[in-house]
Structure 1
Amino acid sequence: MQKILLTIIISSFLFQPEKKETFNPVVVLELFTSQGCSSCPPADNLLNEVKTKYSDDEVIALSYHVDYWNYIGWRDPFSKKVFSDKQRKYGHKFNSSSIYTPQIVVNGKEHFVGSNKGIMKSKLNTYLSKSAVNMVELSNIKKDNAAISLNYKIEGVINKKTLRVALVINERITSIKRGENKNRTLKNSNIVVEEMFLNLDSKEGKLSLPIPDIVNQNDDLSIVAFVQTENLDITGGSQQKL
């Protein structure tokens, strides 16, 4: 009888479900935008409002400038094909037949028109009530003329996950000479100008992110890092000003 009880106790211990760690909520907003799109400035302004209202620990607001509006007459200096390709991956995930601007993706899980203030408020309230399952700590950040180096440490399960690290310009004002926004002066915030991906096989490590030529000496910069699943869900992140 004692042997049976001991077996039950051991089996119960061995097959207990893994305890999932949780951390403070973090909302990552990815705005797909373009200086060549006349519908985008209200979304750019809304992203800046959100960035100003919430702390860096709560909301990470990013703008990715796509390149498929460049043919109209104005080449967005921040646009990259890789950002358009990123948006297409989300389109595939969301079973969308086409991609559009301005589009906001929230924590990689759902999307809406980026200028819709009502939906933005609702989604922020929803996701700020949900705990993150990963936490990212950045340290020993060093900047030289060519690159930014840093150490990272991740808490929580990292199996089959990727670390995304982005270099962000806090703000730029551009006078638009041609295209749909001709003769307008646009302000863009939290502009992603470089990004790298690292498949996670360790919770700690070092990396170096190149600084592209579009970055000026007087730009205010930030480093953003977050963890993403194979299904593009974002499970935690952080940002630090340089």
Structure 2
Amino acid sequence: MVMASRRSLWLAALALAFSAVAGAGHASESEKMHAESQADKPLGVVELFTSQGCSSCPPADAFFAELATKDDIVALAYHVDYWDYLGWKDTLSRKENTERQYDYMRAFGSRSVYTPQAVLNGRIHVNGANRTEVDGALARMARSGEGMRVAIKVSRTSDRVIIDAGDAGTGPSDAHVVIVYFEPPQTIKIAQGENSGRKMTYWNAVTGIQTAGMWHGKAQRYELPISEIVKKGGCAVLLQSAGKDGMPGPIVGAAFIHKP
């Protein structure tokens, strides 16, 4: 989903493209010497659908802020726009975020969307304010093989970010390489609506999401110009499967792409 106002940016990114190179172990010696790397299988991915105009969301936003500081969680907040009519336009909301939530609704066979909704590993959804449900579900999925089963290693040189996705092992072996851009933490004073008078700090508010390639179960490399990363507040990569109808499916690998 590409924002019209950012079309030129996305097209530039795609023109530069992710050049995929099979076999993740063929980095040059200079890359090995100069790359700063992180390789991990985090506990899970938490995608919170929230709104500044939703009176039920502040507890979920506060809990999400805790998750966003954990090293083993990839936490992304999608501010939606359908509560804006209540008197306050969410300053971080984007139509594309609402569309992603509706895509999950169809993938889950649900009849409606709600906030605060936490989608975990692209597999299930729970109330985003219920830390017991969120923590418990992530732990259960990790034990049952529904967690992050594909290692993603992110490294960088002076001019590029290198994403190495590992082998699938068993299970589904096709996934989209999804790049998610988000804002740094910011504090916003809400002047109207259901949360009027509150001052909230929001973490990892998503500003754009781009499907940048495909992964087919084998170790594969993708490259991104580092200039694209430094323009953003933050960035994450997800390996997310998709159904035949294009709806989002399970996330099998994830990592943050840290700015230099």
Structure number with greater CO (CA < 8 Å, separation at least 6) is 2
CA distance change for structure 1 residues 91 and 141 in 2, over 3 Å: closer, same or farther? farther
Question: 1:61 aligned to 2:41?
Answer: no
Q: Can you list the C-alpha shifts for 1:50-75, whole angstroms capped at 9, x where unaligned? A: 233x32xx211110001111122211
Contact 2:181 2:209 (C-alpha < 8 Å) held by counterparts? yes
TM-score, normalising length: structure 1: 0.76
Q: Does 1:40 align with 2:52?
A: no
Describe the superposition over 1:61-94 as per-residue Cα deviations: whole angstroms up to 9, x where unpaired: 1100011111222111211111111101110111
1:10-46 deviations in whole A, cap 9, x for unaligned?
xxxxxxxxxxxxx745300000001111111100001
Deviation at 1:193, TM superposition (A): 1.5
Equivalent pair of 1:31/1:114 in contact (CA under 8 Å): yes
Give the whole-Å Cα distance in 2 for the aligned partners of 1:76 and 1:110.
26
- Alpha-carbon separation, structure 2, partners of 1:141 and 1:176: 41
Q: Distance between the aligned counterparts of 2:75 and 2:138, measured in 1?
A: 11
- Check if 1:176 corresponds to 2:190: yes
Gaps of 5+ in 1: 1-22, 144-148, 216-220
When normalised by structure 2's length, the TM-score is 0.71
Equivalent in the alignment of 1:132: 148
Q: Which residue of 2 aligns with 1:224?
A: 236
For 1:70 and 1:40, locate their aligned partners in 2 and report how far apart those are by CA, in whole Å: 14
What stretches of structure 2 of length at least 5 have no aligned partner? 1-39, 244-248
For 1:201 and 1:34, the matched residues in 2 are separated by: 33
Q: In the TM superposition, what is the alpha-carbon distance from 1:120 to its structure 2 partner?
A: 1.7
After TM superposition, give the deviation of residue 238 of structure 1 in Å.
0.7
> How many equivalent pairs are there?
206
- Once the two structures are TM-superposed, the CA of residue 176 in structure 1 deviates from its matched residue by 0.6
What percentage of aligned pairs have identical amino acids?
30
CA offsets 1:123-162 (integer angstroms, 9 cap, x no match):
132234345332222222779xxxxx63322112485310
Per the TM alignment, residue 122 of structure 1 is displaced from its structure 2 partner at its CA by: 0.9
Moved over 6 A (4+): none
* Alignment match of 1:151 (pick from 162, 166, 176): 162
User: What is the RMSD of the two structures over their aligned residues, measured on CA atoms?
Assistant: 2.6
Letter in 2 for 1:162: H
How far apart are 1:205 and its partner, in Å? 2.2
One-letter identity of the residue aligned with 1:152 = I
